[in-house]
Amino acid sequence: MTAIDIGVPRGVPRKRHAPTARRHRRERIFKVVGLLATLVGLVALGALLFDLAYSGLPRLSWDFFLNFPSRRANIAGILSAWVGSLLVILVTGAIGIPLGVAAGIYLEEYARKNLLTNIIEINVSNLAGVPSIIYGLLALGLFVYGFGTGRSIFTAGLTLALLILPIIIVATREAIRAVPDSLREAALGLGATKWQVTRDHVLPAAMPGVLTGVIIGVSRALGETAPLITIGALTFIAFLPTPPITSEPPFISFQWLWDGFTVLPIQAFNWVSRPGDDFHANAAAAGLVLVLLTLGLNGIAIYLRYRLRKKLQW
């Protein structure tokens, strides 16, 4: 429908509008309904945050971040959990983001539309809805037993990378599709190769959208528990992975990739299921850290997106 075509086909009686007062009343009613719908989500989030903060805040201290888990709730901390979470997410991002973005670019810019790409497309969308434990079972069979990668940070990163791959692919494709064709045609017309067009024009223009997908994916990976327990994440681990920098040449060690680990949601889950209120306070505090970490990541993404959008000029 174009902008001029506001009329109704001839012969069809024009729908009579309700009197002005009633229309305005409906307008107001919808406004209230819309507001209520928005508030349900916001209030739920607010209540959750308040509840976590209420029982968790008193437990937050440097010691809580620097202590290992313990049977005594008041000296138990989340050191191994937050270090584990960060390292696993690092591996997840390093593998999942380039793979997902590359696949998205290929499917949108390079692949021909045929039966095969259609099947791939449907599968990718479906994969985004597969329960996470299935990824855990796949990873247990394929990575842990098949490739012998063990119950390690590397395996966890690979598993979560698989989990967020469909999310990143779908977001990348949507973002690339939103880039106007005139941009591509202009660059192609000047003799640029497809890769040059993609790298210098399409991808930068699509970056804000890609980033949104990456952040949604990474935030989801941060909160995952089930697939990690399936591949054999630990619950009690009172030491840190091998440091990445060593005193002997070549000074950089990737040994930490093979170390056992635990993550924040597993630690919180474990504390929630313990008897006694003092462990529940720990769980709330760990949950609070996790929520703040996710919100922080989102904040960084929103800031980056804002800066990238401002730079875009067509």
Give the interface with another protein as residue ranges (CB under 8 A): 69-71, 91, 93-95, 97-98, 101, 148, 150-151, 154, 229, 232-239, 252-255, 257-260, 270, 272-276, 280
Least separation in angstroms between residue 307's CB and another protein is 13
What the block records as the tokens of 205 is 């223009």
Strand partners, 252: 245
Strand partners, 245: 252
Q: Which is nearer to another protein, 70 or 123 (CB)?
A: 70
Q: Which DSSP helix (H) or strand (E) runs through 28?
A: helix 20-56
Q: Which is nearer to another protein, 239 or 303 (CB)?
A: 239
Least separation in angstroms between residue 194's CB and another protein is 18
Q: Which is nearer to another protein, 292 or 304 (CB)?
A: 304
Least separation in angstroms between residue 21's CB and another protein is 51
What the block records as the tokens of 16 is 């009579």
Task: Find all residues with CB under 8 Å of 161, minimum gap 6, and list them.
Answer: 91, 92, 93, 95, 96, 99
**How many Å apart are CA 313 and CA 43, to the nearest integer?**
38
Decide: 79 and 66 in contact? Cβ < 8 Å.
yes
Least separation in angstroms between residue 28's CB and another protein is 42
Least separation in angstroms between residue 196's CB and another protein is 16
Closest CA to 262 of 292, 293, 290, 237: 237
Sign of the CA dihedral with 277 first, then 281, 283, and 287 last: positive
What the block records as the tokens of 197 is 């067009």
Q: Which is nearer to another protein, 48 or 119 (CB)?
A: 48
Least separation in angstroms between residue 197's CB and another protein is 17
What the block records as the tokens of 74 is 């008041």
Q: Which is nearer to another protein, 280 or 305 (CB)?
A: 280
Closest CA to 261 of 286, 220, 233: 233
Q: Is 217 helix (H, G, I), strand (E, B) or coil?
A: helix
Q: Which is nearer to another protein, 107 or 158 (CB)?
A: 158
Residue keyed to tokens 């497309």: 121
Least separation in angstroms between residue 73's CB and another protein is 11
Strand partners, 34: none
Q: Which is nearer to another protein, 181 or 277 (CB)?
A: 277
Q: Which is nearer to another protein, 95 or 293 (CB)?
A: 95
Least separation in angstroms between residue 99's CB and another protein is 9
Q: Which is nearer to another protein, 30 or 239 (CB)?
A: 239
Decide: 183 and 201 in contact? Cβ < 8 Å.
yes
Least separation in angstroms between residue 93's CB and another protein is 7
Decide: 281 and 73 in contact? Cβ < 8 Å.
yes
Task: Find all residues with CB under 8 Å of 67, minimum gap 6, and list them.
Answer: 75, 76, 77, 78, 79
